[in-house]
């Protein structure tokens, strides 16, 4: 795989605050990558640095191996879909999609109204633009909406227009800023599939910026996890989920927050626990009379397909366990014993880094 | 239900009554007087049909006042709107770099709006004085011939127009600044990615269309104020020299309150009122079609 777009040791400071610290990140040809982080972690700044909307304070931006750090957003030809879609409200859907082509293909004079009447060059170019717009509109099922203004469209339709506008000019990379955050649950699932399909069909490298781990895990080939302005781990969704490289990643990923047992008490779950932190996901813990860990149930919450128990072990550590199916549920106040599959345990050193432990 | 109706009447009634009594009724009276030869204080008046209107449009003096007003508005409207937009864009960008200076300049530009025009006219008269005025002093420093700013028949209307622009730019600037602040920054980002990243293309792609509703409002307000020009004329030139700066509202004032020709003054008022109404309706119709997207 060849690198398409990359950041090389990029730092971005706003005043005295470092929004992005020494980030290196590579988006390869044809891959679908997700940049995952909590809000305010610097992922949107990273996206803007890649797109050319911000200039880095230090470091380089590379496109196809060429240094484009000083190039404008337009010169980089990177498509960007905004969270708010940022459609031009005064232009029709057709004009919105055609705008990037017009800016690129026609000079300022040629863009003046009426030039098509006098210049065959402009006429030819406009016909090409029309064909390109029709093609991408067809692909995104916008054919019937081309004459509408964005204000007359639903949220999902607006999003497809934003996608079309980004894709129409055959970009060198496609960056999507929180594309699903403005959609309701049903539309979200459909749009996930649609964006995946679009990636397969177009073959452009996609970078999805999101705070939603299920979006990242379900859509991306690779995930870069960003915490407090730094990339802390890059890997496949499975790697990120099953082998978090640090406590921070382990705590960030997972629908339910991971349980962490401090060195010492953790020894009851695994021999290495005498000197390491041991992490175990709530869904990997189970009730078992022979379990090594004793804990008292503090509260119980029924969530339909699953029940979440909050417990406290005898060393005072808060634990969470997710139960699915028909076990007889203990009541608050009961003391239960917990067991875990050794393969599901994560060991972390005192510095928070992962240390592999034998199963 | 009857109670509701009574409440409505009590709430809306008094204000409606006042409006009818003090606005609609006088307007109706003016419309009637416009067709008479009524003079203020006279016991009776004669119905003279459209003679007053014929005088206004037929006499040299009437046509001169109309033409002067149109020329004045034709200069002040585009200049004041254009400069207001230019200054607003400059100050809007300056806010990011030098917020203090931007705030100070905002106040400076707005001062003429807040100041009483009549008082300002005195200062302008001093500045424009042919021999003692600062402006002619500067003109000679720059090697230009001093001008009779307010007593040259060919120049006086343009001098007044310049003062009119000076006076209204600040107001337009404030409105444009408010309009600029509401443009989402994501649109500028989108334009940058799409290739409209600076200068004119950025302006035509985002700023100008997004300012559409603001511009509509600014143009209407500026136009109405320009056609109503009165204070500077009354305080500085009295329509002179030789009616060279006579405008429609000043003519109305002179006919009605100096010569007490209430009938003729009413006719001028009617023409003025209808012209402004038509103009405003036309502007809204024309521009609304292009800016109606919110």
Among A242, A272, A293, the domain-final residue is A242
Indicate the pLDDT class of residue A46, thresholds 50, 70 and 90: very high
Distance from CA of B186 to the nearest CA of A (A): 6
Average pLDDT for B94-120: 86
By C-alpha distance, which of A265, A249, A244, A257 is closest to A285?
A257
Average pLDDT for A78-85: 89
Of A53, A99, A104, the CB nearest to B192: A53
Distance of CA B181 to the CA centre of its chain: 25
pLDDT (tens digit per residue) in A93-108: 999 999 988 888 887 7
Number of domains observed in the structure of chain B = 1
- Residue A169 within a domain: yes
Of A51, A88, A89, the CB nearest to B193: A51
Q: What is the rounded distance in angstroms from the CA atom of residue B33 to the CA atom of residue B265?
A: 9
- Residue A20 within a domain: yes
Indicate the pLDDT class of residue B290, thresholds 50, 70 and 90: low
pLDDT of residue B261: 82
pLDDT of residue B293 exceeding 70: no
- Residue A359 within a domain: no
pLDDT (tens digit per residue) in B247-269: 888 988 888 888 888 888 888 88
- Residue B209 within a domain: yes
CATH number at residue A131: 3.40.50.300
Say whether A99 and B196 touch across the interface (CB within 8 A).
yes
Distance from CA of A151 to the nearest CA of B (A): 7
Average pLDDT for A70-89: 88
Is A336's Cβ below 8 Å from some Cβ in B?
no
- Residue A152 within a domain: yes
pLDDT of residue B259: 84
Sign, Cα dihedral of A175, A181, A182, A183: positive
Distance from CA of A169 to the nearest CA of B (A): 9
Q: Nearest 10 degrees: CA dihedral of A89, A92, A96, A98?
A: -160
Among A242, A271, A305, the domain-final residue is A242
* 3-class DSSP state of A154: coil
Which residues of B fall within a CB distance of 8 Å from A53? 189, 192-193
Q: Quick one: closest CA in B to A88, which residue?
A: B187
Kind plus residue range of the DSSP H or E element containing A340: strand A335-340
pLDDT (tens digit per residue) in A22-39: 999 999 998 999 999 988
Indicate the pLDDT class of residue B24, thresholds 50, 70 and 90: very high
pLDDT of residue A326: 65
Say whether B194 and A78 touch across the interface (CB within 8 A).
no
Which residues of A fall within a CB distance of 8 Å from B192? 52-53, 72-74
- Residue B190 within a domain: yes
Question: DSSP state, B254?
Answer: I
CATH number at residue B185: 1.10.3720.10
Please give the residue range of the domain that contains residue A290. Answer: 256-348
DSSP sequence for A120-161: HHHHHHHHHHHHHHHHHHHHTT-GGGTTS-GGGS-HHHHHHH
Question: DSSP state, A331?
Answer: P
Residues A72, A160 within the same domain? yes
Average pLDDT, chain A: 87
pLDDT of residue B284: 78
Is A163's Cβ below 8 Å from some Cβ in B?
no
Q: Quick one: closest CA in A to B197, which residue?
A: A74
Please give the residue range of the domain that contains residue B272. Answer: 59-291
DSSP sequence for B35-51: TB---TT-S---B-TTH
Indicate the pLDDT class of residue A190, thresholds 50, 70 and 90: confident
- Residue B46 within a domain: no
pLDDT of residue A327: 67
Which residues of A fall within a CB distance of 8 Å from B290? 90
DSSP lists the bridge partners of residue A226 as A37, A231
* Chain A, chain B: beta-carbon pairs less than 8 Å apart: 70
Which residues of B fall within a CB distance of 8 Å from A103? 194-196, 201, 205
Which residues of B fall within a CB distance of 8 Å from A104? 195
Of B189, B197, B205, the CB nearest to A82: B189
Distance from CA of B249 to the nearest CA of A (A): 39
Is A147's Cβ below 8 Å from some Cβ in B?
no
Q: What share of chain B is helix, strand, coil (3-state, %, to 5)?
A: 75, 0, 25
B-interface mutation test, from A53, A78, A209, most B Cβ less than 10 A away = A53
CATH number at residue A336: 2.40.50.140
B-interface mutation test, from A72, A74, A101, most B Cβ less than 10 A away = A74
pLDDT (tens digit per residue) in A142-179: 888 888 888 888 888 898 999 899 888 888 899 999 88
Number of domains observed in the structure of chain A = 2
- Residue B4 within a domain: no
User: Cβ distance B173 to B88 under 8 Å?
Assistant: yes
Residues A195, A97 within the same domain? yes
Q: Nearest 10 degrees: CA dihedral of A99, A101, A107, A109?
A: -40
pLDDT of residue B134 exceeding 90: no
């Amino acid at each position: 795989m060849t690198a398409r777009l990359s950041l090389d040791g990029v730092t971005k400071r706003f005043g005295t605050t470092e929004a992005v610290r020494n980030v290196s990140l590579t988006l390869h040809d044809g891959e679908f990558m997700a940049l995952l982080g909590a809000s305010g972690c610097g992922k949107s700044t990273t996206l803007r640095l890649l797109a050319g909307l911000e200039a880095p304070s230090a470091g380089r931006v590379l496109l196809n191996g060429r240094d484009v750090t000083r190039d404008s957003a337009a010169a980089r030809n990177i498509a960007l879909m905004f969270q708010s879609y940022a459609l031009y409200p005064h232009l029709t859907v057709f004009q919105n999609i055609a705008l990037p082509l017009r800016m690129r293909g026609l000079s300022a004079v040629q863009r003046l109204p009426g030039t098509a009447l006098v210049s065959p060059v402009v006429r030819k170019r406009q016909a090409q633009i029309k064909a390109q717009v029709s093609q991408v509109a067809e692909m995104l099922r916008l054919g019937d909406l081309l004459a509408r203004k964005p204000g007359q469209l639903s949220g999902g339709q607006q999003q497809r227009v934003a996608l079309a506008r980004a894709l129409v000019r055959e970009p060198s990379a496609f960056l999507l800023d929180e594309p699903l955050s403005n959609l309701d649950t049903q539309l979200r699932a459909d749009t996930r599939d649609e964006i995946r399909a679009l990636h397969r069909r177009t073959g452009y490298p996609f970078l999805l910026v999101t705070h939603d781990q299920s979006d990242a895990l379900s859509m991306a080939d690779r995930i870069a996890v960003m915490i407090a302005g730094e990339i802390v781990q890059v890997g496949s969704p499975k790697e990120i989920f099953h082998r978090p490289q640090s406590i921070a990643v382990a705590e960030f990923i997972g629908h339910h927050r991971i349980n962490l047992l401090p060195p010492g008490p953790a020894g009851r779950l695994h021999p290495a626990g005498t000197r390491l932190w041991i992490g175990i996901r709530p869904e990997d813990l189970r009730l078992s009379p022979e379990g090594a860990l004793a804990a008292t149930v503090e509260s119980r919450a029924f969530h339909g397909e699953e029940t979440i128990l909050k417990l406290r072990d005898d060393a005072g550590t808060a634990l969470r366990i997710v139960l699915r199916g028909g076990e007889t549920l203990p009541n608050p106040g009961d003391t239960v014993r917990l067991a875990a599959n050794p393969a599901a345990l994560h060991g972390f050193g005192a510095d928070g880094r992962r240390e592999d432990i034998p199963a | 239900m009857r109670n509701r109706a009574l409440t409505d009447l009590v709430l809306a009634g008094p204000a409606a009554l006042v409006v009818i009594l003090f606005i609609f009724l006088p307007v109706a009276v003016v419309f009637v007087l416009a067709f008479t030869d009524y003079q203020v204080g006279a016991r009776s008046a004669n119905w003279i049909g459209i003679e007053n209107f014929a005088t206004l449009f037929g006499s040299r003096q009437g046509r001169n006042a109309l033409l002067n007003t149109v020329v004045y508005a034709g200069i002040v409207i585009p200049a004041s709107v254009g400069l207001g937009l230019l200054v607003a864009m400059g100050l809007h960008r300056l806010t990011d770099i030098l917020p203090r200076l931007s705030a100070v300049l905002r106040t400076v530009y707005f001062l003429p709006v807040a100041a009483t025009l009549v008082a300002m006219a005195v200062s302008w008269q001093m500045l424009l004085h042919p021999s003692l005025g600062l402006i002619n002093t500067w003109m000679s420093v720059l090697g230009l011939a001093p001008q009779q700013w307010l007593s040259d028949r060919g120049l006086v209307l343009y001098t007044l127009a310049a003062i009119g622009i000076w006076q209204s730019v600040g107001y337009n600037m404030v409105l444009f600044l408010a309009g600029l602040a509401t443009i989402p920054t994501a649109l500028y980002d989108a334009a940058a990615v799409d290739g409209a990243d600076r200068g004119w293309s950025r302006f035509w792609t985002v700023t100008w269309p997004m300012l559409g509703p603001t511009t509509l409002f600014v143009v209407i307000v500026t136009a109405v104020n320009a056609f109503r020009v009165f204070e500077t004329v009354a305080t500085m030139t009295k329509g002179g020299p030789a009616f060279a700066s006579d405008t429609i509202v000043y003519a109305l004032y002179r006919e009605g309150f100096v010569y007490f020709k209430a009938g003729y003054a009413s006719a001028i008022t009617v023409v003025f009122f209808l012209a402004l109404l038509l103009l405003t309706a036309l502007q809204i119709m024309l521009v609304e079609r292009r800016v109606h997207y919110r």
